[in-house]
């Protein structure tokens, strides 16, 4: 499944890159649906069984930490977002990465173009371009 996921994500990434290289705008990037490239919630988030297994493991780890500290804090079960809720987050992250690579935001503060100019060129919210630049500053 990982190879298939990587292939679908590669096609999606290339589509975003092509839109940017052809002078597309931010709205054009948002119009590209990851699902049209075969990317599903099970691929990104994991299957329902995997999510439950991770949730159980995380709860067990929280209980161990609680016992070590003698803490009475109760940790709520982790609730995983469904694909419909997470799809927008996934899509924006992919778009930000595409913008960062297209605009050479990974080149450092001195060599990269002004973020405001990039935002105006793409007709994108400045905040999105700023988040794209932050990807490389982590």
Query: pTM above 0.85?
Result: no
> What is the Cα–Cα distance from 133 to 112, expressed in whole angstroms?
10
Low-confidence residues of the chain: pLDDT under 70: 1, 45-84, 107-110, 136-138
- DSSP sequence for 4-53: HHHHHHHHHHHHHHHHHHTT--HHHHHHS-GGGGT--HHHHH--HHHHHH
* The pLDDT value given to residue 77: 40
Q: Where are the domains of the chain?
A: 2-48+82-135
pLDDT of residue 52: 60
């Amino acid at each position: 499944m990982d190879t298939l996921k990587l292939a679908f994500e590669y096609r999606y990434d290339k589509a975003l890159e092509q839109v940017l290289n052809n002078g597309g705008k931010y709205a054009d990037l948002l119009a590209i649906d990851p699902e049209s490239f075969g990317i599903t919630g099970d691929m990104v988030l994991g299957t329902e069984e995997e999510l439950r297994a991770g949730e159980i493991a995380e709860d067990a780890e929280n209980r161990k930490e609680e016992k070590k500290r003698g803490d009475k804090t109760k940790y709520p079960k982790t609730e995983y977002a469904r694909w419909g809720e997470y799809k927008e987050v996934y899509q924006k992250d992919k778009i930000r990465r595409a913008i960062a690579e297209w605009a050479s935001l990974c080149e450092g503060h001195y060599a990269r173009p002004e973020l405001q100019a990039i935002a105006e060129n793409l007709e994108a919210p400045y905040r999105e371009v700023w988040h794209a630049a932050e990807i490389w500053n982590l």
